[in-house]
Structure 1
Amino acid sequence: MTDPTGPPAADYPAPPWKARGVLWMSVLTAREAPELPADLSPVGGRRTLLVVLARYTEGALRYDEFAVGSPARRGRRVGLFCHRIWVDSAASVRGGRRLWGIPKELARFSWDAETVRIHDDNGPVAALRLGPHGRARVPVLRAPSSGFGRIGGERTFLCGQVSGRLGRGRLGVLDWHPPLPDLAAPAPRFTLSVSAARFVFPAGTRLGPAGSPASGRTGA
């Protein structure tokens, strides 16, 4: 795979990144509470994990993305703090890190019918089985798709948006490897999906100093 940190020239689009594709979001429970930086507080329970799988098939960049994070807040801002996030585009890795401070890593996504397997240079990361989108779907406009990052010593915030047709989805965990957080159970609490999705990811906002991970705590 290509070195995601080079070349130094910016070969990624300037924000906003606009794309179309499909999105799955599942809520799972970690066996133990993942650690959050001290300037962020957990939302929805300290052991709550959000698993996000996206396929950006049209737009500024075309790539697959798999993220595992904790819903978190800083003041009035709420978003996903990614413990790990992988994509199959080196340009997305560089853009994600340099524009928003999101620590994207490079991986391979192998699709077979309704199964996707993610591998990085260290070996298998996860395997997921996706069910068909539910028939009952509700149009949504400008739903938040937000996340926290870090550039240098500053906390960053990406206030993205997604629109499309929202409904129940299915996502099953077939395989799950370290360094992902251990799961209390492989079955998600629930899964939502957005079909015919449109994404907008604007320039990020700098929020001030970022806290370092605090030993023995998961939020401020």
Structure 2
Amino acid sequence: MRLSAELEAFQRRLGHSFARPDLLIRAVTHSSISSVTRPDNQRLEFLGDRVLGLVIAEALIETDRDAAEGVLAPRYNALVRKETCADVARQIDLGAVLKLGRSETMSGGRRKEALLGDAMEAVIAAVYRDAGFEAARDLVVRLWGDRIRTVETDARDPKTSLQEWAQARGQVPPTYAETARQGPDHAPVFTVEARLATGESESASASSKRAAEQDAARKLLQRVDRGG
């Protein structure tokens, strides 16, 4: 099986040449275009999530040999979450080679965070199936690069951190409200307001509600931590 010119170029960006090209083709095939003869990447995504988790856990242990589990866990979560996988996918322009159905293409599927994150995990699994764990580990360590070395000591999800801050002070959990939506349907921009029961609030905009909520929570936490 021969790869298209686009997938050949992607192999070079990825830094792995597939002995079994069918694995790469499957890894970039979304369920919106799959068929009996063209399987999608969901099973590879399932496997890739586990391979990524093991590689990142091992890398964190090696990077900081004295860190306690309570420190390692939030770092791990920050490095394996879907937003980080999508960021790595953008780094190698994975979206450009995804095989999508017409409707998914028209709705901006090549830029969707969840879709990119899932495909990145599928590509990791494809490398694992093609060349073994060592090759998959080398790929992840190389692509995640400085993210592993510079991940914040307290890399907890901002929404979780803000909720813990509020609860520690006897407050009800913060609320989140979509205050605006702009842009075309295939590339919307959401604005979300995070608000504490005491009245403090911050807003943020992003291409997904989840990302906007996280950024608004991060900004609000920074504000209240400064005392204003």
Structure with higher helix content: 2
Structure with more contact order per residue of length (Cα contacts < 8 Å, sep ≥ 6): 1
TM-score, with structure 1 as normaliser:
0.24
Structure with higher strand content: 1
TM-score, with structure 2 as normaliser:
0.23
